[in-house]
Structure 1
Amino acid sequence: MTQADKILYTGKTHVTGGRDGAARSSDGQLDVKLSPPGSSASGTNPEQMLAAGWSACFIGAMGLAAQKLQVALPRDTAVDAEIDLAVKDSSYFLRARLNVSVPGVEAEVAQALVDAAHQTCPYSKATRGNIDVVITVV
């Protein structure tokens, strides 16, 4: 395990029932019903949760990059994430697309922010080399 100088936060959850179950955080702030992707059952699924978490983290990393580049990151910066649960030869895998909108920022600057964020975002680091990821400035 990689050594850390400091632990900033530890997210703790308890999940029961897998994709047909429930997830609750230790502090009670997250309390969701889980359902399989594409089903009509109420609840969310792990792919949606990954998409939301990665998007939020990515925008945070863009904010840090904007500070370093001395650029104002617009409040309406957005990431539309798509996480595919796929199968090939009976083997399941994930792949991702992040479509990033940085309104009012020049295309070259927006691309620089996205490139820097992808290098520093912990979700990007965790998935790098493990799943196919396409990031597009829209």
Structure 2
Amino acid sequence: MVVLFTSKATTSGGREGHVKSEDGLIDLQLTTPSALNKKTGSNPEQLFAAGYSACFDGALNFIAKKNKHKIESSITAEVSLLKDETESPFSLAVTLNAHIKGVPQDVAVELVKEAHGFCPYSKALRNNVDVKLKVSVE
């Protein structure tokens, strides 16, 4: 494998800390989301949703172009932090909401399925995180 690039970000203070990318474009206060927490800040799930939605939309457009479809799309990633009563109680679940213009529903569904097989984030999560795919067309 050839490394195309490497991104770096450093966090100190965990979920109540601060994260900054090496180039300074990401420079955010972190806070744990809660109905009781009135602090302003981002959280790891929000940052993961941003990265996954960007990667997946890129994969979807690549797959559409490869299959000779001209589309307009947006992806809304919902990343949930889950807790149960097991020994390692925390896990993630993801719903990817694909909004696509330019193809009928059945074609859109097939493009999303193919993109899910192609996207590096989807590959990394496969067999580890429940990822649901939802598709709507205009």
Relative to the length of structure 1, the TM-score reads 0.91
State which drifts further: 82-91 or 113-122: 82-91
The alpha-carbon deviation at position 14 of structure 1 amounts to 1.0
Q: Partner residue of 2:12?
A: 16
Measured against aligned partners, the alpha-carbon deviations of 1:52-103 in whole angstroms (never above 9, x if no partner) come to 11000000001110121011121xx111211110111151111111111002
Q: Name the aligned partner's letter for residue 71 of structure 1.
A: H
2:17 touches 2:30 (CA, 8 Å); kept in 1? yes
> How many percent of aligned residue pairs carry the same amino acid?
41
The runs of 5 or more residues in structure 1 that have no matched partner are: none
Instruction: Choose from 86, 101, 104 the match for 1:103.
Output: 101
Report the aligned-residue RMSD: 1.1
The ranges of structure 1 where at least 4 consecutive aligned residues each deviate by more than 4 angstroms after the TM superposition are none
Q: Partner residue of 2:21?
A: 25
Q: Partner residue of 2:85?
A: 89
Measured against aligned partners, the alpha-carbon deviations of 1:25-47 in whole angstroms (never above 9, x if no partner) come to 11111111111123321110000
Structure 1 residues 46-125: aligned runs within 5 Å: 46-74=44-72, 77-90=73-86, 91-125=89-123
Q: What is the SS of the residue equivalent to 2:101?
A: coil
Residues paired across the two proteins, number: 132
